[in-house]
Amino acid sequence: MLEPCDICASSEMYPVLEVSLIGKRRVQVHRCRSCGFRQIRPRLTADQIKALYPSDYFDAGSPVGYADYAREFQRRQREAYFLNRWLRRLGSEGRLLEVGCALGFLLTGLKRSGWRVEGVDASAFAVHYARTRYGIDVACATLEEARFPDAAFDVVIQKDLLEHVADPRAHLEETRRVLRPDGWLRLVTPNGEANLRPLIAASGTTGSHPLPVLDQGHLSFFSRRHLRRLFEECGFRCCRMRMIGITRGLRALGCLPGQRRFVRSAPSVETTSLPSEATVGAEDGAAGFEDLSARIDRDIAQRHSGFKSWTPYFHYHRAMKQVDSLPAWCELGYDFECLLQRR
């Protein structure tokens, strides 16, 4: 028996799509007959989720995982520039947590705010990189495992994280617990329809072999209605929600040419199990971490652009992003961007 739907608690969930999760595991996306929420079921365990993110998830040479983390560094520095200004308006000091901080690119930029910044990430390699390269205090765990004290943080950031957790409702309840009353949650998560429609189209043209690859480890696929209900019932006030990445979203939805670029091809392991967390850690090892870390360091240096580090460019880029956004009700973009406050 499948667990009830995370959104409406209905017990009627049925399979609609079979995919290969990061090329490692055959899984099925189920849909709730009552509210339409789609999610990988049965749920993955905490160890199985961690096993999805070995060091090669961050390797540009890997056929699955994040395609090119090095190019994210300057993007996160731009983002940190504007977040620092927002944090200073909140106060001269405070405590901030980024959940799913990955390699620590955003947190290292936020250190300039004067706030105490911390991170938590399930990937041992990501934690190694953030600690050794930037000296950031990062816990190697899920938010639920970290067990931070009640009301410990003034601000929590979760960028592209909610879709990776096994139980989104329980995760948001834990997020609320670690936030102080009236504390802020900044959250970005993909438009579930934009995530799935390219895979549905690919499965219709390729048949069952090879399976379309769900390559970044997403487990849940949200609509605006699903998110608003979750936020409200988990104790958050939604102060702002918008769609971002409209052009990218229209491509993923098949409204513009280029939908196929969202489906990556990779050999699929025909299995229903994943390696244990201990096995993954043993395969990577500290030496392997340092080798990949050095490659990422070189990639970041090679991709560095002086022009893109220029403050006027930050403002120009932000203005262009504003043009590429719409109100959340249209649901045509690639991501939902949400600003929430704990009630």
Cα–Cα dist 156/98, whole Å: 6
Q: Assign 190 to helix, strand or coil.
A: strand
The closest alpha carbon to 168, from 79, 100, 242, 97, belongs to: 100
Cα–Cα dist 216/232, whole Å: 27
What percentage of the chain has pLDDT greater than the value 90?
77
Q: Assign 124 to helix, strand or coil.
A: helix
Query: Are 179 and 342 within 8 A, CB to CB?
Result: yes
What's the pTM?
0.92
Amino acid at 141: A
Least confident range from 10-24, 37-51, 268-282, 303-317: namely 268-282
Cα–Cα dist 97/186, whole Å: 11
CATH code: domain 47-265+310-342 is: 3.40.50.150
Q: Assign 306 to helix, strand or coil.
A: coil
**Tell me: the pLDDT tens digits for 92-150?**
999 999 999 999 999 999 999 999 999 999 999 999 999 999 999 999 999 999 999 99
The closest alpha carbon to 225, from 333, 340, 329, belongs to: 329
Cα–Cα dist 199/157, whole Å: 28
Query: Are 98 and 157 within 8 A, CB to CB?
Result: yes
Q: Assign 151 to helix, strand or coil.
A: coil
Cα–Cα dist 174/149, whole Å: 11
Q: What is the mean pLDDT of the chain?
A: 90
Residue 153 has pLDDT above 50, yes or no: yes
**Tell me: the pLDDT tens digits for 55-96?**
888 887 777 677 677 789 999 999 999 999 999 999 999 999
Cis omega before residue 63 (within 30°)? no
Residue 47 has pLDDT above 80, yes or no: yes
Average pLDDT over residues 192-196: 97
Q: Where are the domains of the chain?
A: 47-265+310-342
Give the position of tokens 């959250």: 187
pLDDT of res. 139: 97
Residue 207 has pLDDT above 80, yes or no: no
Query: Where on the phi/psi map is residue 290: left (φ > 0), alpha (ψ -120 to 50), or beta?
Result: alpha
pLDDT of res. 205: 61
Average pLDDT over residues 281-306: 82
**Tell me: the pLDDT tens digits for 208-223?**
567 888 888 899 999 9
Antiparallel, parallel or unpaired: β 179-190 and 220-221:
unpaired
